[in-house]
Amino acid sequence: MRFRDLFIAALLLLAPSLASAQMPGQNPAERAALIREAFASTYGKALTADFGKALRKDADPACLGDKGLNPDQLEARGRDLLIKWGTRLMDGIADLHDPKAFAERFPDSAELERLKQNADVKRYLAIAAPARQATILDLVVEHFARYLLISRTKPVFASPLETGNQDILSKNPSDAVEKAMDRFVASKKSAALDRYLDLSDRAAAAQTASLKKEQVIALGGPHSFFKGIEADLAELCNGSRR
């Protein structure tokens, strides 16, 4: 396979995770709210604390003094940075999809939206919410850490998926949530929920098929959405080359 084909294949493999994090038709305000909610979760707080440690470790003491920053402030500031750039990542990924192509492949968007008002579907979505948040967090942190590594930018930071940090990974609720989702579906004889799940699968497939492949190739990888973050890291006395 040529590089461009490999890259497209990689993004297509990532598409199901993206689809579970972002529902079709979400607007920027909804995506921003999802990011904030995700980082307010227990798993999000654990990831933020880990990033805060990295910021404190690699912060320039002279810079902290000049800016009047206490090292203890870096964790909260780091969380705000991850929320800002995580939102940019999710918005950028949304822009990689052609809405016209999506609509042609999935003409049932209105029905999918109506089904979200069904009581059983609402309950299912509430159960699923923590897993969606965890998917978002993993996407943001993984590609942020990858950008820091590739650009050799401080702080030195890696995602727990890469390091295998069980103290953090144990706070990821996805496995327990997925089991709860399966139990809920099995316990219900709900035509509305069954229809919603079917349409959701079709919508995810349509999202994948509606990727703008030329833009995907030009991008170079999801981590590219973090280009320029050095200026914000510099405000936290990081951001220099390693």
Residue 220: exposed, middle, or buried by beta-carbon count in 10 A (0-12, 13-18, 19+)?
A: exposed
The H-or-E segment that residue 169 falls in is: helix 166-169
Mean per-residue pLDDT, 176-197: 95
Mean residue pLDDT of the chain comes to 88
**Amino acid identity for residue 155 in this structure:** P
Q: Is the dihedral of CA 233, 237, 238, 242 positive or negative?
A: positive
Which pLDDT score is estimated for 2? 40
3-state secondary structure 168-210: HHCCCCHHHHHHHHHHHHHHCCCHHHHHHHHHHHHHHHHHHHC
What's the CA gap between 48 and 144, in Å, rounded? 13
> Is the whole model's pTM more than 0.85, yes or no?
yes
- Cα 132 from Cα 174, distance rounded (Å): 8
Distance, first Cα to last Cα, the chain: 34
Q: Give the tokens for residue 17.
A: 């995770």
Q: In angstroms, rounded to a whole number, what is the distance separating the alpha carbons of residues 236 and 229?
A: 11
Residue 38 within a domain: yes
Share of the chain above pLDDT 90, in %: 68
| Stretch 166-184: mean pLDDT | 96
Residue 25 — very low, low, confident or very high, per pLDDT cuts 50/70/90? low
Separation between Cα atoms, residue 135 and residue 17, nearest integer Å: 7
**Sole residue written with tokens 């609509």:** 103
Q: 8 lies in which domain range?
A: 3-234
Lowest mean pLDDT among 18-27, 44-53, 165-174, 215-224: 18-27
Residue 240 lies in a domain: no
Beta carbons of 31 and 94 less than 8 angstroms apart: yes
Domain assignment present for residue 239? The answer is no
Yes or no: say if 31 and 90 are a contact pair by the CB < 8 Å rule: yes
Domain-embedded: residue 88: yes
How many structural domains is the chain composed of?
Answer: 1
User: Among 51, 71, 49, 52, which Cα is nearest to 60's?
Assistant: 71
Q: Give the lowest-confidence range in 41-55, 89-103, 177-191.
A: 89-103
- Does residue 241 form part of some domain? no
**Residue 179 forms part of a structural domain:** yes
Spatial distance between the Cα atoms of 112 and 19, rounded to a whole number of angstroms: 14
Query: Residue 8 pLDDT more than 60?
Result: no
Residue 32 maps to a domain: yes
CA distance 237 to 155: 9
Query: How many C-beta neighbours within 10 Å does residue 174 have?
Result: 17
* Residue 242 located in a structural domain: no
What is d(CA 139, CA 129) in angstroms, rounded to the nearest whole number? 16
- Give me the amino acid identity at 60: D
Q: Which of 9-18, 138-147, 232-241 has the weakest average pLDDT?
A: 9-18
Q: Does 218 have pLDDT greater than 80?
A: no
Residue 23: per-residue pLDDT: 52
Is 19's pLDDT higher than 60? no
